[in-house]
Each structure stands twice: as C-alpha cells, then as structure tokens.
Amino acid sequence: MGVSQNEKILVTGHRGMVGSAVCRRLADTDCEVLTAPRETLDLTRAEATEQYFDAERPDTVIFASAKVGGIVANDTYPVEFLTENLTMAVNTIGAAYRHGVQRFLFLGSTCIYPRDCPQPITETSLLSGLLESTNEAYALAKIAGLKLCQYYRRQHGVTYHSAMPTNLYGPGDNYHPEHSHVLPALIRRFHHAKLTGQPSVELWGTGEPRREFLHVDDLADAIVHLLSLESPPDWVNVGTGVDLTIRELAEKVANTVGYQGEIQTDPSRPDGTPVKCTDVTLLHECGWKHQIDLQQGLENTYADFCREVDAGKLRSA
C-alpha cells in the first residue's frame, strides 16, 4: 500500500526507466497519477513549472526526472549536467512547496557519494570527501536537490526526503552500444553474440570488481514504501546490499540469454573501483527489503529486451 486513496501523485520523468516503473507500481494503488511529458512541461522552465502546479495541485511529488548520461557525456557537457539538473530540482521543489505539497520524494543516486568512501557505503558518507571527477557536475546538482529537500523539511516542516538507489536494471533501460551501463551492455552483447554465433565475448578488465544491482520494480516498491513512513530518513540507500563480481554477472547474463560461447577478460583495460555496494541497514530498519533476486530480475529484463527488439522499440539513445 503506502499511498492514500485518491491522493494525487505527480511522477516527473514518467517516460524514463525509474518514472515508468513508479507509474507501473502506482497503478496497483487507488491514487491518481499525474504525468506531464517534457514537451508540455519542461521542468527547467520556472514559469511553466509554477503554472503546472497551479493548475494540477498534486498532493505528492515523486521526482524521477533528470538529465542522465554516461561518463563521456557527463565529462564533456558538465555545464548542461549541472545547470539542467540543478534548475529542475530548484524549480520543482520550490513550486511544490509554494503550492502546498506536503510530501516530496527526490531521486538521488549512490553515484553522488564521494569517490573513495568506505564500503559498503552508508548514508553518512555523503559530502565526506571528493567526488568522482567524471560525474562531479551531475553529483553537485543532485546533492543540492537532496539538501534543498532537507532544508525545506527543517525550515518549513514539510516531509521532503530522498532515496539513493544503487545501479538499476530492468524494463526501460538504455541499451546504447557504447553509453549503456554494464548490465544492459552485457545483455545486448551476449544476445548479439548468440544470434551471430560468436565463439567468445570479451569483458573489459579482470572481471573481478564487485558491483550491486537492483531491479527497478523493487526501487518503485521501495519508493511507495518510503512514502508511507510518517518520518522517513532525509535520505536512505535503496539497494540489495548484495554484490557479485562482473565475471559472475556476465555468467548469469550469458545463461539467461542462452549464450554458450566463452567469456574472456581483458586485464589490460581499467577495472574501476574494486568494490561498490550500499549498506542497506537503514533501509531495512525502515521496514523494506528487496524482493526480486538477480536471476529472476535478469529473466524478466531479458524477456522485456526481446519484446522491445521485436517491436523495433529498443531504447538505445
């Protein structure tokens, strides 16, 4: 449950991976879901945002809109990543407050924690060290949005709070050949290797780094749960707390896809951080735990990938 009957909930970014999962989850409730495509509501435009809140008067906002991108895009266009994300957050959080919204859930990300913070990552690591330089602009904007929620809560008594999801996967993911995240990239590569009869697939690096993955439908469920709490934490990690090596992940993806060739590694390529995993103690204390295990989630995601390929609608922008 988590949300009240007839509650009007605005989901921003509803066509995105997270926003669409949240809309699917809310479809099981009695609330009224409001959405607005970017063509009619560009959240970087302050006046349009105010007018929207004036007209629609949501009770609650789930903020799943963002300008997101891979390392190359983040590194090449830091001006746009900082400006657009910051402006969207300031406009939306401010307009919500000015129009009586009592509940606001802001989407952060574990990628905004400091680069070298202790593992597993706890919520107290925020702002405790230097950010990863390649996504600094994005992280600064997100941190500002998250802190703005905290400040509104402290100064004005509204329940504005944030969730910090780990790496996500699931329906609606981006399968761009160069810019996608590791899990969708592996699905795409193994699928292609199976169809073309490739004898082997090569992983970048040693395959030893450990990573954590959460199905986006679990995130949507966690969001609805957090909205049901009277006094949620200002920000809380949303993950599984379970990690595996990239090699183990690749083996699981290959099995799911039905690829029977070899998996090779290329240790001459960089590995990145050896371990990245969230501490989910606070999340569990909040009464929520993930439900979808990785194998089940991979099967569901691969089925969705195949449907999208067949329909010629695979997202790869």
Kindly tell me which of 171 and 232 has the beta carbon lying closer to ligand NAP.
171
CB of 172 to ligand NAP, least distance (A): 6
Q: Segment 142-171, which members bind ligand NAP (CB under 6 A)?
A: 165, 167-168
CB of 245 to ligand NAP, least distance (A): 19
Pick the catalytic residue from 52, 97, 113, 138: 138
Kindly tell me which of 2 and 16 has the beta carbon lying closer to ligand NAP.
16
138 catalytic residue (yes or no) = yes
- Tell whether residue 304 is a contact of ligand NAP (CB under 6 A): no
Pick from 9, 43, 86, 137 the residue near ligand NAP by CB under 6 A.
43
Rounded CA separation 126/142 (Å): 11
Are β-strands 32-34 and 159-165 bridged in parallel, bridged antiparallel, or unpaired? unpaired
Size of the site for ligand NAP (CB under 6 A): 22
Q: Quick check: helix, strand or coil at residue 193?
A: helix
- Tell whether residue 18 is a contact of ligand NAP (CB under 6 A): yes
- Tell whether residue 135 is a contact of ligand NAP (CB under 6 A): no
CB of 317 to ligand NAP, least distance (A): 8
Percent composition of the chain: helix, strand, coil (DSSP 3-state, to 5): 45, 15, 40
C-alpha separations of 241 from 139, 212, 274, 278 in Å:
22, 7, 16, 5
CB of 27 to ligand NAP, least distance (A): 17
Contact assessment for residue 119 and residue 211, using Cβ atoms and an 8 Å cutoff: no
- Tell whether residue 227 is a contact of ligand NAP (CB under 6 A): no
Which of 153, 192, 148, 154 lies closest to 314 in space, CA to CA?
Answer: 192
Pick from 9, 26, 61, 68 the residue near ligand NAP by CB under 6 A.
68
Provide CB contacts within 8 A for 46, sequence distance 6+: 87, 91, 95
> Encoding tokens for residue 132?
């990863």
Rounded CA separation 118/188 (Å): 32
Rounded CA separation 105/96 (Å): 11
- Tell whether residue 26 is a contact of ligand NAP (CB under 6 A): no
Contact assessment for residue 13 and residue 66, using Cβ atoms and an 8 Å cutoff: yes
Kindly tell me which of 21 and 263 has the beta carbon lying closer to ligand NAP.
21
CB of 69 to ligand NAP, least distance (A): 8
| Active site positions, annotated | 138
| Interacting residues toward ligand NAP by CB under 6 A | 13, 15-19, 38, 42-44, 64-68, 88, 107, 109, 165, 167-168, 181
